[in-house]
A and B are shown apart, each in its own frame.
Chain A
Amino acid sequence: MAESVTAKNLALAKAINESLRRALETDPKVLIMGEDVGKLGGVFRVTDGLQKDFGESRVIDTPLAESGIVGTAIGLALRGYRPVVEIQFDGFVFPAYDQIVTQLAKMHARSLGKVKLPVVVRIPYGGGIGAVEHHSESPEALFAHVSGLKIVSPSNASDAYWMMQQAIQSDDPVIFFEPKRRYWDKGEVDTEAIPGPLHKAQVVREGTDLTLVAYGPMVKLCQEVAAAAAEEGKNLEVLDLRSVSPLDFDSIQASVEKTRRLVVVHEAPVFFGSGAEIAARITERCFYHLEAPVLRVGGYHAPYPPARLEEEYLPGLDRVLDAVDRALAY
């Protein structure tokens, strides 16, 4: 190519695709594995065209066995490969949960650092696309509770591209939650940019009255909430966490010391969710700065409902605005 065009307008799914392509080109040890990732290009087409260009030995269609996918990826990593595995949907990760929790997360520590497991587990997650059961869940807290794993979730195309690069380069296992309802959202991706640290939160909207914290699919919602609140004269700050483990408490603390109010938004059930951890730690760190208790908006302690009810279950504009009003009323 005569001239390098580094900034592209890409859908989030396509950004991941291009990031995977770059990793396959750069490092011969990178492998893509999963159900339907080859000819079909994945059920969301995230791996579209990769097998055609890199062959069946680099982009591997696997048997329908999630524990097998993660377990063999561990073995490949022990042999020096860097597998990126796709779990087709959030609710299907549980057959692999044992391998992820008892093996992938702990082997580095058990070996006293002698072995490294640079495995990325990609999980399209979350609701809002009208899917049937087990296709809309947000199990990130179940993984964040486990030491040895890193849990990240991009909210936009640029982060999707760069965070995937960083996840693949990490010597630690990374659970990469992809917000499936944002797969088709487009954004600018500068493929020559120098990305910030993988686990640094980003202020995506500056504000002074209250901090909204979110990650993955809920960041866009929080930006919409901030825009709606602005019409009522409320000036909200929106923080995109990007990473659930580690969690950038310093950035949340800095924001809360400025705004003095915090609302955490995620799709996962509120009970024992990542919002609970954020609320507890921020209360500890910012007790004398807070003007209101940290509030949480998320899913209920109920199975993810049938699609016709998911708008009731998922945090929406009004539910988040309601929490904002309650926090501001203290």
Chain B
Amino acid sequence: MTVESTAARKPRRSAGSKAGATGTERTTRTTARKAAEPELVQLLTPEGKRVKNAKNAEYAKYVADVTPEDLRGLYRDMVLTRRFDAEATALQRQGELGLWASLLGQEAAQIGSGRALRDDDYVFPTYREHGVAWCRGVDPTNLLGMFRGVNNGGWDPNGNNFHLYTIVIGSQTLHATGYAMGVAKDGADSAVIAYFGDGASSQGDVAESFTFSAVYNAPVVFFCQNNQWAISEPTEKQTRVPLYQRAQGYGFPGVRVDGNDVLACLAVTRWALDRARDGEGPTLVEAYTYRMGAHTTSDDPTKYRADEERESWEAKDPILRLRRYLEASNHTDEGFFAELEAESEALGKRVREAVRAMPDPDRFAIFENVYADGHALVDEERAQFAAYQASFATESDSGLAAGPGGK
């Protein structure tokens, strides 16, 4: 709507007619909502049927080489990731974890994009990328240390080119951009991918990472999982335009993909990574998906969203749709699903046991790695802490700590 047309409506608005103020606002909102309707790249419908049209042809060729075995692999990844996630949620309920951020519903977005990566690519996740971690070969039990409270990370970022989870929303998009600038300087053809959510898209750091990556033509893919909710705030509280369209203002392409379609996520991410490798700079991928559970185990989504909404998204379940496709294509048999179920059970058991066996950190870990080169104050406080700890041993040794009627 132009300024002139708004002005033209003013007299009618003040006249209080039906087409007045409310009508004008309604028109604006409707326009925004219409523009926000998903224009998805989709290769598999919720019913599990392959989609072939002019719109997705450009991306479909990126999965032309995907074999039935690959498809079963993607299915396996999603099932096991969901099982791991469910186990972690249960462990939180049992008091074994302090918190958990579930990825339920986002398996396709994470496995599709994660399986598009090469080993030498580098991933900068937020704190919900358990499926991507799985694809990178990070042992899932290592993801639980920070949620149990035994460390603030839990894996060597350079071991799997998978950076530590970042809690401050959006910060990691700048780290990814800087890392990608370094990749370009090195003349390497690897790419970098930054994960973030729809809420993070409102953060200044994300905007700055778009600016920097565009200006320096950095080989980075911004993978936004729009799961519709930033804790209790819907996407409409973050943006008035579809998120993928943000990229245009920074001078690089943005594309919206069906985030519950693992094949489409694989295809679009491969396309974006190829662009990065070919020196064509950044891409924004908006994976349009849904967080079926709570934001974290501390959250209560029943306070802010309707059951019908979740139900409508359950019909688009990423795992179910691939299963339907596999079955319809005769790519699997009952043996496959039975084996996977057994594998899933074993993973759940392993995760439960690993978490319960996780030792508390050594108390002196407080002072470790604060500085790479050391720091006099840390040394001094470590010594004080050691003396304090030792004082208990001394008291115990002399019988002072034995209490009334001691030995």
Q: Identify the A interface with B (CB < 8 A).
A: 57, 62-63, 65, 67-68, 70-81, 95, 98-99, 102-103, 106-116, 147-148, 150, 170-172, 199, 245-249
Minimal Cβ-Cβ distance residue in A for B153 = A110
Assembled-state Cα–Cα distance A307/B78 (Å): 63
Q: Which of B85-93, B168-176, B386-394 contacts A (4 or more CB under 8 A)?
A: B168-176
Q: Are A99 and B205 within 8 A (Cβ)?
A: yes
Closest chain B CB from A107 CB (angstroms): 7
Closest chain A CB from B177 CB (angstroms): 5
Closest chain A CB from B249 CB (angstroms): 14
Q: Are A71 and B368 within 8 A (Cβ)?
A: no
Assembled-state Cα–Cα distance A103/B375 (Å): 19
Q: Are A65 and B211 within 8 A (Cβ)?
A: yes
Assembled-state Cα–Cα distance A112/B158 (Å): 12
User: Can you offer 9 A-B residue contacts whose CB atoms are under 8 A?
Assistant: A68-B212, A71-B175, A72-B177, A76-B182, A98-B205, A102-B168, A113-B368, A172-B371, A248-B376
Assembled-state Cα–Cα distance A245/B153 (Å): 26
Instruction: Provide the residues of chain B in CB contact with A79, threshold 8 Å.
Output: 178-179, 181-183, 186
Minimal Cβ-Cβ distance residue in B for A144 = B377
Assembled-state Cα–Cα distance A113/B377 (Å): 18
Q: Main secondary structure on chain B at its contact with chain A?
A: helix
Instruction: List B residues 36-81 near A (Cβ within 8 Å).
Output: none
Q: Are A75 and B152 within 8 A (Cβ)?
A: no
Closest chain A CB from B160 CB (angstroms): 12
Which residue among A71, A245, A246 has the maximum number of chain B CB atoms within 10 Å of its CB?
A71
Closest chain B CB from A249 CB (angstroms): 8
Assembled-state Cα–Cα distance A77/B212 (Å): 16
Q: Are B185 and A57 within 8 A (Cβ)?
A: yes
Q: Are A110 and B164 within 8 A (Cβ)?
A: yes
Q: Mark B185-228, 1 if CB is under 8 A from A, else 0.
A: 11000000000000000001100110110010000000000000
Instruction: Provide the residues of chain A in CB contact with B181, threshold 8 Å.
Output: 72, 75-76, 79
B369 within 8 A of A: yes
B347 within 8 A of A: no
Instruction: Provide the residues of chain A in CB contact with B369, threshold 8 Å.
Output: 108-109, 111-113
Q: Are A72 and B378 within 8 A (Cβ)?
A: no
B180 within 8 A of A: yes
Assembled-state Cα–Cα distance A71/B166 (Å): 13
Assembled-state Cα–Cα distance A107/B368 (Å): 12
Assembled-state Cα–Cα distance A212/B58 (Å): 72
Assembled-state Cα–Cα distance A120/B371 (Å): 14
Minimal Cβ-Cβ distance residue in A for B204 = A67
Chain B contact-residue range equals: 35 or more
Which 4 A/B pairs are nearest by Cβ-Cβ distance? A75-B178, A71-B174, A79-B182, A72-B178
Minimal Cβ-Cβ distance residue in A for B376 = A246
Closest chain A CB from B153 CB (angstroms): 5
Q: Are B174 and A72 within 8 A (Cβ)?
A: yes
Q: Known: A114-B157, A114-B158. Is A75-B376 also a contact (CB below 8 A)?
A: no
Instruction: Provide the residues of chain B in CB contact with A148, threshold 8 Å.
Output: 370-371
Q: Known: A80-B182, A103-B168, A150-B375. Is A75-B153 also a contact (CB below 8 A)?
A: no
B148 within 8 A of A: no
Q: Of the candidates B163, B209, B378, which one forms a contact with A68 in the assembled complex, judged by CB atoms under 8 Å apart?
A: B209
Assembled-state Cα–Cα distance A98/B174 (Å): 12
Q: Are B377 and A114 within 8 A (Cβ)?
A: no
Assembled-state Cα–Cα distance A107/B158 (Å): 13
Q: Are B211 and A81 within 8 A (Cβ)?
A: no
Assembled-state Cα–Cα distance A163/B95 (Å): 50
Minimal Cβ-Cβ distance residue in A for B163 = A78
B156 within 8 A of A: yes
Q: Are B153 and A111 within 8 A (Cβ)?
A: yes
Q: Known: A108-B371, A114-B156, A114-B157. Is A76-B179 also a contact (CB below 8 A)?
A: yes
Assembled-state Cα–Cα distance A76/B180 (Å): 8
Q: Are A72 and B212 within 8 A (Cβ)?
A: yes
Q: Are B372 and A116 within 8 A (Cβ)?
A: yes
Q: Are A71 and B171 within 8 A (Cβ)?
A: yes
Assembled-state Cα–Cα distance A184/B64 (Å): 65
Instruction: Provide the residues of chain A in CB contact with B178, threshold 8 Å.
Output: 71-79
Q: Are A172 and B174 within 8 A (Cβ)?
A: no
Q: Are A147 and B370 within 8 A (Cβ)?
A: yes
Assembled-state Cα–Cα distance A299/B171 (Å): 33
Instruction: Provide the residues of chain B in CB contact with A76, threshold 8 Å.
Output: 178-179, 181-182
Instruction: Provide the residues of chain B in CB contact with A107, threshold 8 Å.
Output: 164
B333 within 8 A of A: no
Instruction: Provide the residues of chain A in CB contact with B204, threshold 8 Å.
Output: 67, 95
Q: Are A109 and B152 within 8 A (Cβ)?
A: yes
B151 within 8 A of A: yes
Further 18 A-B residue pairs, CB within 8 A, beyond A68-B177, A110-B164, A111-B164: A62-B212, A63-B212, A63-B215, A65-B208, A65-B212, A71-B174, A71-B208, A72-B177, A75-B178, A75-B179, A76-B181, A79-B178, A79-B179, A98-B171, A108-B372, A147-B370, A147-B375, A247-B376
Q: Are A245 and B375 within 8 A (Cβ)?
A: yes
Assembled-state Cα–Cα distance A76/B185 (Å): 10
Closest chain A CB from B374 CB (angstroms): 9
B334 within 8 A of A: no
Closest chain A CB from B220 CB (angstroms): 9
B4 within 8 A of A: no
Closest chain B CB from A247 CB (angstroms): 7
Instruction: Provide the residues of chain A in CB contact with B368, threshold 8 Å.
Output: 109, 112-113
Minimal Cβ-Cβ distance residue in A for B379 = A246
